[in-house]
Structures are given as C-alpha cells and as structure tokens.
A and B are shown apart, each in its own frame.
Chain A
Amino acid sequence: MIAAAAYALPPSDWPIQDRDTAQWIDTIPLYDGPWLLSATQAILNFRALSNDWDGAGSPPVAPAVVATAIEVLRRFGTVVEPMSHASPVPGGGVQLEWYLRDRYLEIEVLPDGSLAYLSEAAGQTKEAALSLADASTIRELVSFLSHR
C-alpha cells in the first residue's frame, strides 16, 4: 500500500530521501518505470484465474509461477522498454512479451517454474531455455531489447 500511495503522487512528492540509492526492499524501483506497477498488478491478477479459465480445462496459474513471472519482469523491466503484454498460458504458465519496432521477445514461465524464451529480429528466430541464474543470457536478452 505504501508503494501504491507513492505511485499516486508526482515523482517530486515521493517520500524518498535519496533518489539515487533508495529502493523498495527487493521490489520494484518505481521511478525507473512507472508502468511496472500496473504490469506487476496485471500478473498478480492471474492468481484469480480458476480451474477451466480457458474453457478447455486449464488448471489455474500457481502462485509460484506468478512469483517467478514477477521476478522476470523485475529483472528486465527496470532496464529495457516497457513490457507490451502478459498472458496466462493454457496449462498453467505465464507469458511476458515485448513488441518493439524491429524485434520481439517472449519469455514464458512454465507450470513447473522453468523458463523458456523466443526472440525474433530481422527474420531470425531463436528459442531456448532460460535460467534467472544465467547472467550471461539475461545480459544478452537485455541487450537484445535495448538495441537501437
């Protein structure tokens, strides 16, 4: 609620003493991307999906999958373009997508908590597994999204 209250104020009124170093503890630095709060809320809303939410028998999205998706958003969202879209995936996954003018990235959190991504640019498609512990691939994908 503190974060939500701060978000409602103009940045000059945010109750942060040192804007260069202050952060919410292990949460999202709001002033890096105000869109992150609504994006996080959109993902949190997937927790409310019930059984058969897709009309084809899908189970709900597990809390652990939602938590991992928010962690992915936090890793990427503070350094690259705003995420374009988030969707639940039939079967219990969550997918995050970035649509840029000349490139595309989707990262899916699978029901077992593992991650996979697909990137597209200049007609080239790459898909692979992803680990949040794999700093090299994370940097590569951040660079991919940040490319101008």
Chain B
Amino acid sequence: MEDWVYRQAVPPRPTSAAFKDDLSNEVSVFIATLTTVDRILDGHPGDSVAQITAGQARAQGYKIIRDPDHGLVPNDPSHVVLCPPPGLGKKRSTKAARALAESATWAYLRPKDS
C-alpha cells in the first residue's frame, strides 16, 4: 500500500507554494496513516489539506526524514520532513515543488465561503 503524506495548502488548487520553504528548504508533512486531517487542521480552520504519496516525493529526489520533535504534539510520530535533493543547498527546487503540486490531490478541501 502506498504511503500518503499530508500538507496544508490553499484552495483552489494545491500549488508549488505549499511545497516550498524559503527558510529551511525542508517541507513539513504528516504521514496520513499516523494522523488525521482534523488533527492537522486543529487551530487552522480556514485551511485545506493536500496529499501526495511518499513515492511521488522520492521521485523528485526528496528524502523523507522522521522528525517527531517538531510535529503537532510532542513526540509526534506522524511528522516527517521532505529534504530536497542533495546539491541544491539553500536554493529551493522550484521545479520539484511544482512537480509535487501537480501530483497532489485534496485530502480535505475547505468548502468555499466557509
């Protein structure tokens, strides 16, 4: 079975902006089988949640690293970070982020005007 990971995103479509981080260059995501959409949206009621597979992230060169210390709660086993392909340094891979956005689907899409 494919492992899905969740990432907050802004409607109307998951965009590459959701898969970038201008400071750390790492993308914080959550393993779908170890959390819920409701937990991710706790405190962020206006957001939506996009999902990609771990395989799609790996196909773009990202490594998936467990990071339980920076999740939603202390020792959060669902929290992982997507580390960009080696060699990019601080330069974000806009192309890789765009590819992730293209392959993303909505796990939860906030109803319009809600």
Partner-B contacts on A (CB < 8 A): 54-59, 85, 87-93, 95, 97, 99, 106, 108, 110-111, 116, 118, 120, 125, 127
Flag whether B8 is at the interface (Cβ < 8 A): yes
Give the size of the chain B interface in residues (CB under 8 angstroms): 23
Query: Are A93 and B20 interface neighbours, CB within 8 A?
Result: yes
Query: Are A127 and B95 interface neighbours, CB within 8 A?
Result: yes
Given A91-B22, A95-B17, A106-B16: A55 and B43 interface contact (C-beta under 8 Å): yes
The A contact surface, by secondary structure, is: strand
Flag whether B98 is at the interface (Cβ < 8 A): yes
Which of B15, B21, B22, B40 contacts A87, CB < 8 Å?
B15
Contact mask for chain B residues 1-44; partner A; CB cutoff 8 A; 1 contact, 0 none: 00000001010110111101111100110000000000010011
How long is the Cα–Cα vector from A85 to B12 in the complex, in angstroms? 8
How long is the Cα–Cα vector from A110 to B94 in the complex, in angstroms? 12
Query: Are B28 and A56 interface neighbours, CB within 8 A?
Result: yes
Given A87-B15, A89-B17, A97-B15: A59 and B23 interface contact (C-beta under 8 Å): yes
